[in-house]
Amino acid sequence: MKKFNSKIVFTALAVLFTASCTNVEDVYIEKPTSDVIYSETFQNGLGDFKAVNVFGDQVWAYNSSGYAIMTGYVNPTNYANEDWLISPEIDLTNIASAYFSFDYVMRYSNDPANDATVWVLADHAYSPDTLPNVSQWVKLDLKPFVDPGSWTFSNSNDISLNDFVGKKIRIAFRYISSATKAGTWEIKNFTVKKGTAKVVESNDGSEEKPFTVKEAIQNQAGASAWVKGYIVGYIWSGTQNNYVFSADTCTQATNIILADTNDLSALYVSKILAVQLPAGVVRDSLNLKDHKDKFGKNVTLYGSLTKYFGIGGLKSVSYYKLEDGTSGGTKPVKAIFSETFANSKGDFTIVDVTKVSVLPNIWAHDASYKCMKATAFDNPTNYESESWLISPTINLSGVTNPVMVFDYVTRYFANPATDATIQVSENYQGGDPRSATWTQIPYPFTNMSSWTFVTTNPIDLSAFANKNIRIAFKYTSTSTKAGTWEIKNLVIY
C-alpha cells in the first residue's frame, strides 16, 4: 500500500474545495515550501532558455525524447560551430547560498574541456538577440565532461553558485565543434536550488578508491583502472546480444556482468558493465558456468575500461578480489605517477622551441586515439621543428628503483633514435627547456609499420631515485622528413 503525505492531501482537497464553492471566506490553504529557485526539464521544449548561434549552421534544439541537444555532426560530415544555450535571468539577490545541477550526455568531442563548458553572467544586462560577450561571462571550473561510451545520461552533481549570491545571473552551456570533429551534447533536468552544494567525493579508479559501475561506464577511454560491483549475470553474443541477469543456465565462461546493485529488479542494460574474463586465473575463478555461487557476490576487478558487447566494458581483466578476501591473478604495481592522455594533455606542458606557423602545436591531444601526438607533417609538407612535451614535477623520494612504461607509435622518422627522445631534468623550472639541464634516456625506437600501439620495456629511472624530476618527450623534424610520435598510458612505478 502506498503511503500519502496528509499535508499534501489536505492541500489538494482544499484547492478542490475552493474551486468548487463560491463566496467562501477565510479558507486557509498551506502552500508546500520548496528550495527550487528555477528549473527546466526540457521535457517539452527549450522553455525560457535561448539558443544563440555565434557561427555555424547548427543550433541548440529540442529533442522530442525530452532533452536539449546540440551537435555539429550531420552524417557523415562534421561542421564548425559555436553555440550557446542561455538561461533566463535567475534572481539570487536575496539568497544566502545556492547551487545547480543537470543531467547530460557528452559524446564524440575532440576536446571536452574546451568543447563543452558552462558559464555564468552576473549583474550584466543581456539581450538574447545579441552574441555573448565572453569577457563578461565567468567560465566555471568544472571537470571536463567524459564520453561514457553510450547515450546514458549522467548527473553533473551539485555545482556551487555561492560566488554569485546577491546577484542576478544567467547560466549558459557553450558548445564548440570543428570541421574535423563535432561532438554531441544533450542536457535535461536543469535545476537551481537554495542551499549548499553537496560535495560528492568521486572515485579515481585506484585500488583504494575503485570506480563504481556507473563511474566505469562514464570513463570508457581505454585506461586501466579498478572497478567494484556485483556479479549479476552474463552475456550471450549473437545477431542481438542477450544480457542474462541470472546464473542458472549459464554455459559460457568468457564474460560476466557487473552492476552497482544485486537487486535484479533495478537492472537495466544502461546500468551494467560487460566484463571480459581472459583465459587464466580470473576466468577459472569467476565464470558463472563453473561457479554459480559467485552470482550476486561483490568483487573488485582490475582491467581496461573499454566498450564491450556494445556497452560499457572492462576488458583484459588481470586481477580480482572478492568480498570475502579471496583474490587471484596478477596484481598491478602501484603507480608513483600516471597519465593516460585519454582526455587531454593532463598536467603536461607543451613547449614549441621551433614554431611552425601553419600548426598551432606540434604536440597536441588526439581525441580519436586518446593519446598525445607529435608531428610536423602537414600534407604534403614536412616542416623543421623542435617540440617538447614536459611532465609536471614527479617526486621520487623514497623510491629505490623507479621504472617507467608507456604505449607508443613511432612512424616515418628520418632517425627515431635522435628525433624521438626521452629527456629527464632535475632543474627545469618552466619556459624554454634549453635553459635547463637534461639527461637523455636511450630507448630503441624504430619506424613501425602500423598505427598499433606497443608498450615499452620497463625504462630504468634508478639514476634519479630520491629526486624531484621532470620527464620530457622531445620531438624534432626537418623540412625533408617529419615523423609522427604518439604516446599514451604513461606509468612510473
Asked whether residue 316 carries a pLDDT value surpassing 60, the answer given is yes
d(CA 71, CA 51): 13
Phi, psi of 234 (to 5 degrees): -155, 180
- Do 342 and 112 meet the contact criterion of CB atoms below 8 Å apart? no
Distances (CA, A) of 29 to 14, 15, 18: 6, 7, 9
d(CA 464, CA 125): 57
At 15, the pLDDT band (50, 70, 90 cuts) reads: very low
Asked whether residue 16 carries a pLDDT value surpassing 90, the answer given is no
Give just the sign of the alpha carbon dihedral 36, 41, 44, 49: positive
Asked whether residue 330 carries a pLDDT value surpassing 50, the answer given is yes
Query: Class of the 37-194 domain?
Result: mainly beta
Instruction: Decide whether 37-194 matches 338-492 in CATH topology.
Output: yes
Dihedral angle, C-alpha 337, 341, 346, 349, nearest 10 ° = 100
Between 343 and 275, residue with greater pLDDT: 275
Distances (CA, A) of 491 to 157, 263, 332, 427, 452: 30, 37, 11, 22, 19
What is the Rg, in whole angstroms, of the alpha carbon atoms belonging to the chain? 27
Between 7 and 481, residue with greater pLDDT: 481
Locate the domains of the chain by residue range: 6-33, 37-194, 213-330, 338-492
CATH architecture for the domain at 338-492: Sandwich (2.60)
Asked whether residue 147 carries a pLDDT value surpassing 80, the answer given is no
Distances (CA, A) of 395 to 90, 207, 344, 406, 484: 46, 20, 22, 18, 30
Q: Which of 1-15, 155-169, 175-189, 364-378 shows the lowest per-residue confidence on average (mean pLDDT)?
A: 1-15
- Residue 14, pLDDT score: 37
The residue count of the chain comes to: 493
For the purposes of burial, counting CB atoms within 10 Å of the CB of 54, is it exposed (0-12), middle (13-18) or buried (19 or more)? Answer: middle
**CATH fold for domain 213-330:** OB fold (Dihydrolipoamide Acetyltransferase, E2P) (2.40.50)
| Vertex 99 angle, CA 96 and 101, to 5° | 165
- Do 144 and 113 meet the contact criterion of CB atoms below 8 Å apart? yes
- Residue 44, pLDDT score: 96
What would the grid cell of residue 93 be? Answer: 539577490
At 3, the pLDDT band (50, 70, 90 cuts) reads: very low
Q: At which residue does the C-alpha cell 588481470 appear?
A: 318
- Note the pLDDT tens digit of each residue in 274-297: 999 999 999 999 999 999 999 999
Asked whether residue 199 carries a pLDDT value surpassing 80, the answer given is no
Region 340-352: what's the mean pLDDT? Answer: 91
- Note the pLDDT tens digit of each residue in 72-88: 999 999 999 999 999 99
Between 142 and 424, residue with greater pLDDT: 424
- Residue 442, pLDDT score: 93
Region 430-451: what's the mean pLDDT? Answer: 95
